[in-house]
Structure 1
Amino acid sequence: MIANLSIPMESKRQGGDQLVSKVVTTAISALLRQTELLEVNVRAEPVAKLLQGSVDGFDCVGQGLLMHSGLQVDQMEFHLQALSIDFGALFRGQVQLRQPTQASMRIALTEDNLTESFNTPFLKEKLQQLSWEGQSLMFERTRISVNEDQSLRMQSWVRQGEAEQLFEIDITARVEVENRRKLKFVEVTYGGDPTAVALGQMLTEHVNQLLDLDQFALDGMQLRVDQLRLRNKQLTLYGVALIEKFPQRNRGWQP
């Protein structure tokens, strides 16, 4: 993807590394609805090598990120080593990779991030693909908690069709990574009456199909997880981002 940006003339007089950092920061910001902090640092020694499009390293650190889909991320880090870019395209306000690359990554989500994300129209619509006795299920007031024993708890009120009655679903599970790209609930326990348990089992199966990271990645990027941690009220993912081209906003994320 080509990120189209307007670069002031004074930017062209900055050092090459400053120019690259500024353009990439602006391009990444365009992928997000809101950020509390976003810092990009490009390393090149000597800086003159940027004229040939050679970059020694690239670090991106973000905090308090809100995606256009409504999904939230507390902290995000991407660290790339050597890569090749089209330096001339920067003066047109464009970010272009000359070849695919990959970055080490760390993504952290708090309980509140997870809770808010599961209550966005983006995820609620995906949950409502479930049906019970021929009627769709409406999920309300979903709450995600990270327990001291490193398990995850998911509580939600569920309405069947237009019925007034609400069923409370209460799921506690451990989270594993499958094939480096899918998050999966395992060792699941359910609370509530038999109806709530049956709905919880259906929800677990659906969530395990839903949490495929390829469905959440930006276009041009794939996320692969090597380690997952649940502690200190946070879910943290460690792994790599495979970047085929500079990412663009995923059309499926748009409200």
Structure 2
Amino acid sequence: MFGGLTGLTDPKGTDWGEQMLNTVASQTIRHLFSQSESVEVFVRCYPSSKLLQGSIDSFRMNGRGLVIRKDFAVEEMSFETDAVAIDFASVLSGKLKLKQPTQAVAQVILSEDGINQAFQAELVKQRLLNLSAPALTTVSGGQPISFTNVQVKLLPNNCLNLAAIADLNNGETIPLCMTLTIGIEKRRRVSFQSPNIELSSELSSAQRQVGETLSLALVEILDNMVDLDRFDLDGVKMRLNRLETDGQRLIFSGYAEIERIPRSG
């Protein structure tokens, strides 16, 4: 592998060390995702002799059309590290290993369609189906309650519209609808705040009362669900600085603490 990569030439003058690391890093990072439309890695290592000591100046990754764990679609993901110390021997064997932890500035962009697709993932559905907490079942005669058909529509100013069906498992369903503000709590959790409940006027007074109770319960469930610590890759801890809605996109900005390159996503 070493001989093949050192023989590469680049009309722009990129040296063999950067080319080799670009190739290995791209292959390593691509394997973190179940699917990827494109993964590009740009390494800065000058002079290339620094690579022999396992030192590179930085590297940047841009990915598009990514899927994590087969169910979670990411429209775009990018990160850029500070100086990185790597195991040069691992590069020669076609792998990428860090000698010491590093940090990377990161940005993740989710689409509205991708968010709605995530609500169909088993990992998410199992937290929304057949719930038996007393605070919920008191409105259904003791029957477990499920939230289905969850749909999100992104709105300006970090707001979203959330619709769902509450199934009381007694033959009755109640459509739920509300507008929420989303924010970041403790740099790791997406919080759902200030729900403005908008139930259908066709519901009876009793149904509206139950619907309001279940709407607030659904907000609380979601508020405890989107915690980055639950979704961290092995060896990588994500932290958020800000989020913003932009049309049909939700943009997260933050950083990653990378202890080691994970084996899979």
What TM-score do the two structures reach when normalised by structure 1?
0.88
Query: Structure 1 CA distance, aligned partners of 2:91 and 2:171?
Result: 57
Inter-CA distance 244–136: structure 2 relative to 1 (3 Å threshold):
farther
Partner of 1:96: 97
How far the C-alpha of 1:149 sits from its partner, in A, is 4.3
Secondary structure in structure 2 of the residue aligned to 1:247: coil
Write the deviation string for residues 101-129 of structure 1: whole angstroms up to 9, x where unpaired.
Answer: 00001111111111111122221112237
Whether 1:168 aligns to 2:175 is: yes
AA at the equivalent of 1:139: F
Write the deviation string for residues 27-65 of structure 1: whole angstroms up to 9, x where unpaired.
Answer: 111111111111011110001111111010100001111
Partner of 1:148: 156
Partner of 1:186: 193
Partner of 2:218: 203
Contact 1:140 1:156 in 2 (8 A): yes
Secondary structure in structure 2 of the residue aligned to 1:227: strand
Contact 2:128 2:148 in 1 (8 A): no
How far the C-alpha of 1:160 sits from its partner, in A, is 3.1
Query: Structure 2 CA distance, aligned partners of 1:8 and 1:52?
Result: 16
Write the deviation string for residues 196-244 of structure 1: whole angstroms up to 9, x where unpaired.
Answer: 2211111111111111111112111111111111122211111111111
Inter-CA distance 181–91: structure 2 relative to 1 (3 Å threshold):
same
Contact 2:41 2:59 in 1 (8 A): yes
Query: Structure 1 CA distance, aligned partners of 2:145 and 2:32?
Result: 31
Write the deviation string for residues 107-165 of structure 1: whole angstroms up to 9, x where unpaired.
Answer: 1111111111112222111223733324433333211111134311111123234x443
Partner of 2:48: 47
Structure whose alpha-carbon radius of gyration is higher: 2
Secondary structure in structure 1 of the residue aligned to 2:39: strand
Secondary structure in structure 2 of the residue aligned to 1:219: coil
Inter-CA distance 154–50: structure 2 relative to 1 (3 Å threshold):
same
User: Across the two proteins, how many residue pairs are aligned to each other?
Assistant: 243
Equivalent in 232, 242, 245 of residue 227 of structure 1:
242
Query: Structure 2 CA distance, aligned partners of 1:58 and 1:67?
Result: 22
Which region of structure 1 is more displaced relative to structure 2, 96-105 or 230-239? 230-239
Partner of 1:10: 4
How far the C-alpha of 1:84 sits from its partner, in A, is 0.4
Let me know the Cα RMSD of the aligned residues. 1.9
Query: Structure 1 CA distance, aligned partners of 2:143 and 2:99?
Result: 50
Which region of structure 1 is more displaced relative to structure 2, 125-134 or 190-199? 125-134
Secondary structure in structure 2 of the residue aligned to 1:126: coil
Which region of structure 1 is more displaced relative to structure 2, 128-137 or 233-242? 128-137
Query: Structure 1 CA distance, aligned partners of 2:130 and 2:5?
Result: 49
AA at the equivalent of 1:195: V
Secondary structure in structure 2 of the residue aligned to 1:246: coil
Secondary structure in structure 2 of the residue aligned to 1:77: strand
Structure (1 or 2) with the greater strand fraction? 1
1:97-116 equivalences under 5 Å are 97-116=98-117
Contact 1:50 1:87 in 2 (8 A): yes
How far the C-alpha of 1:9 sits from its partner, in A, is 6.3
Partner of 2:203: none
AA at the equivalent of 1:229: E
Contact 1:220 1:248 in 2 (8 A): no
Whether 1:159 aligns to 2:153 is: no
How far the C-alpha of 1:184 sits from its partner, in A, is 0.4
Contact 1:185 1:208 in 2 (8 A): yes
Secondary structure in structure 2 of the residue aligned to 1:95: coil
